[in-house]
Structure 1
Amino acid sequence: MKKVILIGILSLGLFIAGCGDSGKDNAFEVPFDGKMEHVHGIGYAGKDKGLYFASHTGLKMYKDGQWLKTSKNHNDYMGFNAVDDGFYTSGHPGENTDLPNPIGIQRSTDGGKSLKQVDFEGETDFHVMAVGFFSHDIFLMNPAENSKLGQGFYRSNDKGESWEEAAGSGLEGDLLHLAIHPSDSNWIAAATSNGIYLSEDAGDRFELISVDGTGTSVYFDEENLYFASFTSRPEMTKYHLSDASKEKIELPELNEDGPVYIAKKPQDEKEFAIYTIKGQAFISKDGMKSWEQILDNGNVIK
């Protein structure tokens, strides 16, 4: 079963390359009622309080109980990371855009209406990338040599202006997900097919902190690391950075499924969201004591 789950995660597009219509009255955000496929990241991006889903065909948003999509810029967003003033992303251009393929690293501060180049346009699609929510420091795995970086792990402490290689020692297994602390970039976590790993020195050395099956997702807030894994069933854990203690989190009922993305609403300490291998999404507004389903096998729930 572990192998089946790992194949399911990979099929989401975490390691394979991804590859508009206009809204009424030229609105950028328009109602969405349909199926969302190949989500490559979720997060509460910027200050508009919405939960963003980065999909193969552009951004979808869940705001105030309503589903929306963008009327243009239907790019295949990979390596998506929400930050305090917007988001960072990689991936491939959609139709009717003038972006090169791949798009390298881009950022947006206006909800995806426009993208600003950070680096590596036309060179690299970064599938596994983490960006600090407040710091905007970047940690990534470069899949192949490009004009500036060799293959391997790299970090940037100046929003992508310059890069430094990170050793990444101790990591084993297929890398599925990375996370970086929102403000202290010494803390970096990785989910691999071997488990969950944690670094306290900006990604030079990693220590295995959970061996309970395949690690599927990692996420930091200021005081904790949240991680998900799968053995015979999915599990989610709250890991306290101050003392390394662990606390199990009750998940919604999931059948041969498990979280691959975790997000927390910065304006509300009790609101969390998860997205799963099978395209389900849930929101909790009481600190993960109960869950409301908003996406069922990729289909929006209204």
Structure 2
Amino acid sequence: MAFALLTACGDAAVTLMHVHGLAYSPDGQRLSIPSHHGLAIYGARRWSKAPGPEHDYMGYAVTRRAIYSSGHPAQGSGLTNPFGVIKSTDGGGSWEQLGLQGEADFHLLASGFDNGALYVFTDRPNSRMSSPGLYFSLNDGVDWQRAAAQGLSEAPVALAVHPTDSKVVALATSTGLHLSRDAGEQFQALNLGEQALGIAFSLDGTSLWFGSYGNGAKLSRLELSTGQVSPLSVPELQKDAVAYLAQNPTQPQEWAMATFKRDVYVSKDGGKSWSVIAKAGQTLK
């Protein structure tokens, strides 16, 4: 059953104390940003806070049917810390616990927009994951399978899953972009020589957008069928880079990006130009 993020509430100024992800609602009407104090929402050219508990959301993925996350519960919520993996089908108003409560806080968590595959990277073992590494589940966390991740020599800093093909997964590391087409068994190294950062598959499944940093911040698009990499424009960033990327499901030319210094930008023309909607965590009207 499809869902929409809950209508945001309140007119008080919204400050992005931290940015732990970036995603559009399935109806394309709202952009959500998880942080230490709940979800910040941008829609209809205004910022507000989503209703519901102000959990500290870490790994965060919005799919057509649900939101998946990890992190820490809000004070007084009565939920076990850390979350393990949680799921919401009402836009974050309520959450179902999928396991590993009190055991795991996944900073890297991603899911395919339409395929239901859930991937996480863990740096320590837990009751369902016998050793550190990349794991995936095809049944909402009931069973987890470890991926061999051959060809990957470093811990990733970002993780993305193809929207329809559950076996296609991308990782970003300090040495470049890595792509697997066999559920993480083997990774091909791409764009070596520059640090890869924020990554996101286009929702039509044809390309992978990725931020990188060499002499400065860059944004590029990898065509999955040909391997061709094309540069995209990026706002002028001072000692900053692209941390998160998201595409609007109903307006494919609209993309959003968030940076490590908590700037947030929106492009209406497929990454040719960008408009700022938050600067250094201060939201703009």
* TM-score, length of structure 2 as denominator length: 0.93
Q: Counterparts of 1:206-221 in structure 2 under 5 Å? A: 206-221=187-202
Which is richer in helix? 1
The amino acid that maps onto 2:85 is: I
Aligned length: 276
Q: Is the 8 A contact 2:200 2:210 kept in 1?
A: yes
Match of 1:157 in 2: 138
Q: Counterparts of 1:154-233 in structure 2 under 5 Å? A: 154-221=135-202, 222-233=205-216
Q: Structure 2: how far apart are the matches of 1:28 and 1:213? A: 39
Structure 1 position 30, deviation (Å): 2.4
Q: Structure 2: how far apart are the matches of 1:290 and 1:249? A: 9
Q: Is the 8 A contact 2:158 2:198 kept in 1?
A: yes
> After TM superposition, what 4+ stretches of structure 1 lie above 6 angstroms from structure 2?
none
Match of 2:272 in 1: 289
Match of 2:4 in 1: none
Q: Structure 1: how far apart are the matches of 2:136 and 2:160? A: 12
The amino acid that maps onto 2:239 is: E
The amino acid that maps onto 1:226 is: W
Structure 2 portions without partners, runs of 5+: 1-6
| Cα-Cα RMSD | 1.4
SS of the residue corresponding to residue 33 of structure 2 reads strand
SS of the residue corresponding to residue 261 of structure 1 reads strand
The amino acid that maps onto 1:183 is: T
Structure 1 portions without partners, runs of 5+: 1-26
- Confirm whether residue 273 of structure 1 aligns to residue 256 of structure 2: yes
Name the stretch that deviates more: 47-56 or 254-263. Answer: 47-56
Q: Counterparts of 1:75-86 in structure 2 under 5 Å? A: 75-86=55-66
Match of 2:74 in 1: 94
The amino acid that maps onto 1:96 is: G
The amino acid that maps onto 1:240 is: E
Q: Is the 8 A contact 1:47 1:85 kept in 2?
A: no
* TM-score, length of structure 1 as denominator length: 0.88
Structure 1 position 28, deviation (Å): 6.1
How far does the alpha carbon of each residue in 1:269-297 deviate from its partner, in whole angstroms, 9 at most, with x for none? 10000000111000011111111100000
Identity of aligned residues (%): 35
Match of 2:17 in 1: 37
How far does the alpha carbon of each residue in 1:60-101 deviate from its partner, in whole angstroms, 9 at most, with x for none? 000111101034311110111111133110000112212100
Match of 2:223 in 1: 240
Q: Is the 8 A contact 2:58 2:107 kept in 1?
A: yes
Name the stretch that deviates more: 138-147 or 96-105. Answer: 138-147
